[in-house]
Amino acid sequence: MANLKNTEKKTKAQAMGMHTEVLTGRTQQKFFNPDEAENFYYFGTYDVDFNKRTDLDVLDMTAAEANKEIDNLMSQGFGTIVIKNPQGKHSLGVGILNKLNLIFEGSLGYFGMGSCDGPIVRINGRVGWSCAENLMAGKIVIEKNAGSCFGAAIRGGDLICKGSVGARTGIDMKGGTIIIGGDAGAFTGFMMQRGRIIILGDVGINLGDSMYDGTIFVGGEIGSYGSDAVDSELTKNDQDWLKRKLKVAEIGENFDVTKMKKIVAGKKLWNYDNLEPTEKKGAI
Amino acid sequence: MCGIAGLIHRGKSSKVGHELQGMLQALKHRGEDSTGYALYGDTDGKNFIMRFKVGENVGEGSTSVAEDISVYDERKKIVDSYLSELGAKIIKEDRILPYSLRYEIEYNKKDLLNFSQKIESIPGVEILSMGKSLEVIKDLGNAKMVCDRYNLDKLVGTHAIGHARMATESGVDIKSAHPFWGYPFSDVSVVHNGQLTNYWNNRRALENKGMRFMSECDSELIAVYLAEKMRDGASLEEGMKDSLLGLDGVFTYFVATKDSLGMAKDTMAAKPLVLYESDDLVAMGSEEIAIRSILPHEIDTYDPFDGEVKVWQI
């Protein structure tokens, strides 16, 4: 094993054999020329007209065929697409990196609306596990219930479920807002790192377990707190923000936000330093 | 991964074989090593229906050893003679496949433990189910293949549970396939999706209490666990609630009796379940598409929460 004690810190990684090139100088520089803006292209995006509307019946389509057709319609400039007969199919509406009004006349299965960036979506049914996973931006409204892992690892956007959701809602989320009109299951906010979760109803056991950061607001009863999840004072700013958010979310406009509980990370599990995980392992 | 599905009609009968086939076929991507049905058919309730096997399916994917058909014949002869010794009279006999049989028998004693022990003392013979309504049918392949092979499409009854299996913990064979009969209780069956991590501890304890295991599949533990609780006087629902503490791991399971259907979900809620409930029908499955196969119109469904136990009557 490399003699780490006698090695300069900046060369430890090389000494441990993790990489051999020296990452300094021009290899790390990126040059940006504003005159080349027209050359920048965001893959998978189209100029769409929200007033240009069409229906798409996916009854006899596979999820891949349906998603390809949505992409095809966007490429033709359709900005409002109504999906008929989704019938609980999995993986519908994934990977939309566009401004788009998307309406589902029915329910989705697992992994619906995953990895999206920008669309405004309304689902007039329920959704299965892992809806809107990795959402970057946009707004997704579910009129009925949702399964577990709702909004897993989202980075941004608003994710709204008017009914109840399963376990591990907002697991590993890094931004954005999740709003639940009904109850939520166990391990809500598990390992969340940033962002906000609002639950108007009751929530199950181990709320906010191992959360690094972020905020959870609960209107009903809490089954139990997870590791390092603690109560915090609900400020006037919090209340104003909650009122605004619930109004925009079309649920709980008249909900008494002053009685909500605010849960944050106790930060006793925080253990940060400047070492990369592999470096830390080597140093230990 | 595995997929499970179940349904119960309240106040009427239906073609549950056909309905369950549709639900399980919709879940075939969750595993098609084997598929099993526990069907509760309409009967006059007088005679027992015994589904049993005298050998294994050694088709593609099987982990069993091939045996000559004459071995099956010999085992069947011994079963027939033992039934006679036990005072059971064969009313009707169907040999669906060389290794799989269905007997309708007249047997007036209530003790199914001695009965089962006697029949299963024959090497290679396993009772898949024993009941006055229950019939467990399981074999290798997906739901449609098994349904066609055993002609289950026309079976009329009140409720059913089934399982599409991706083998992980044990071999690809009929003995490890679900559903499991709640031996030695008449008309009790179980299907399970998940992994049990305290299988051996529980198994050793239950075997010391005289319970029987036929496979090394962790899911069988649930059937035996509940059977032991009921043997000691607990109701089905009490046994199921107890199992949330007694069984460790991640699981969602269904259990059915002659007139009821129940579900239980572990406290981690790590295994999926979607549920539809109306006045005359309860349907549930690992994924919504299973329910959609019998209810294509727009319906309200939900995920039961962690640690939830529910039981419905016909």
Q: What digits encode the pLDDT tens for the residues A224-259? A: 999 999 999 999 999 999 999 999 998 888 899 999
- Kindly state whether A201 is in contact with chain B, defined as any CB-CB distance less than 8 angstroms: no
Residues 104-123 of A with CB under 8 A from B: 106-107, 109-110
List chain B residues with CB under 8 Å of A84.
none
**In which domain, by residue range, is A89 found?**
47-283
Q: Is the CA virtual torsion B199, B204, B205, B210 positive or negative? A: positive
Q: How far is B136 from chain A (nearest CA, A)?
A: 29
List chain B residues with CB under 8 Å of A110.
272, 287
How many domains is chain A built from? Answer: 1
pLDDT confidence of residue B113: 86
Please check the confidence at residue A107 and state whether its pLDDT lies above 60.
yes
List chain B residues with CB under 8 Å of A144.
300-301
Q: Do A148 and B269 touch (CB under 8 A)?
A: yes
Q: Where are the domains of chain B?
A: 3-313
A17: in domain: no
Burial of residue A211, with CB atoms counted within 10 A of its CB: 0-12 exposed, 13-18 middle, 19 or more buried: buried
Higher pLDDT, A6 or B184: B184
CATH of domain B3-313: 3.60.20.10
With a cut of 70, list the residues of chain B below it in pLDDT: 60
List chain A residues with CB under 8 Å of B306.
167, 185-186, 204-205
Q: Do A106 and B288 touch (CB under 8 A)?
A: no
Q: Are A108 and A123 in contact (CB under 8 A)?
A: yes
* Rounded alpha-carbon distances, angstroms, from residue B194 to A52, A61, A129, A155, B269: 47, 31, 16, 30, 11
Q: How far is B231 from chain A (nearest CA, A)?
A: 32
List chain B residues with CB under 8 Å of A205.
267, 306-307
A1: confidence class by pLDDT, cuts 50, 70, 90? very low
Name residue B55's amino acid.
G
CA nearest to B287 within chain A: A109
As a whole number of Å, the end-to-end CA separation of chain B is: 30
Q: Are B264 and B243 in contact (CB under 8 A)?
A: yes
Q: Do B269 and A166 touch (CB under 8 A)?
A: yes
Q: Do B305 and A166 touch (CB under 8 A)?
A: yes
pLDDT confidence of residue A282: 66
CA nearest to B308 within chain A: A185
Q: Do B292 and A88 touch (CB under 8 A)?
A: yes
What gap in Å lies between CA B252 and CA B255, rounded to an integer? 10
What gap in Å lies between CA B192 and CA B254, rounded to an integer? 6
ipTM of predicted complex: 0.80
A206: in domain: yes
Q: Do B268 and A145 touch (CB under 8 A)?
A: no
A29: in domain: no
- Chain A / chain B CB contacts < 8 angstroms: 74
Please check the confidence at residue A8 and state whether its pLDDT lies above 60.
no
A183-219 pLDDT, tens digit each: 999 999 999 999 999 999 999 999 999 999 999 999 9
- Kindly state whether B298 is in contact with chain A, defined as any CB-CB distance less than 8 angstroms: yes
Residues 234-273 of B with CB under 8 A from A: 267-270, 272
Please check the confidence at residue A40 and state whether its pLDDT lies above 90.
no
pLDDT confidence of residue B45: 87
Which residue shows structure tokens 């290679």?
B124
- Kindly state whether A147 is in contact with chain B, defined as any CB-CB distance less than 8 angstroms: yes
pLDDT confidence of residue A4: 47
Which residues of B have a catalytic role annotated?
2
Say whether pTM exceeds 0.80.
yes
Q: Do A88 and B272 touch (CB under 8 A)?
A: no
A90: confidence class by pLDDT, cuts 50, 70, 90? very high
Please state the separation of Cα A70 from the chain's center in Å: 22
CA nearest to B292 within chain A: A87
pLDDT confidence of residue B171: 79
List chain B residues with CB under 8 Å of A187.
268-269
Q: Is the CA virtual torsion B135, B140, B144, B149 positive or negative? A: negative
DSSP B17-29: HHHHHHHHHHTGG
Please check the confidence at residue A39 and state whether its pLDDT lies above 70.
no
- Kindly state whether B274 is in contact with chain A, defined as any CB-CB distance less than 8 angstroms: yes
Q: Are B301 and B274 in contact (CB under 8 A)?
A: yes
A43: confidence class by pLDDT, cuts 50, 70, 90? confident
What gap in Å lies between CA A174 and CA A153, rounded to an integer? 6
Please check the confidence at residue A2 and state whether its pLDDT lies above 50.
no
- Residue % of chain A over a pLDDT of 70: 81
CATH value at residue A75: 2.160.20.60
pLDDT confidence of residue B305: 92
The vertex-B115 CA angle with B111 and B117, nearest 5°, equals 120
DSSP three-state, residue B4: strand
Read off the DSSP letter of residue A27. G
Burial of residue A265, with CB atoms counted within 10 A of its CB: 0-12 exposed, 13-18 middle, 19 or more buried: buried
Helix axes B143-150, B16-26, angle to 10 degrees: 150
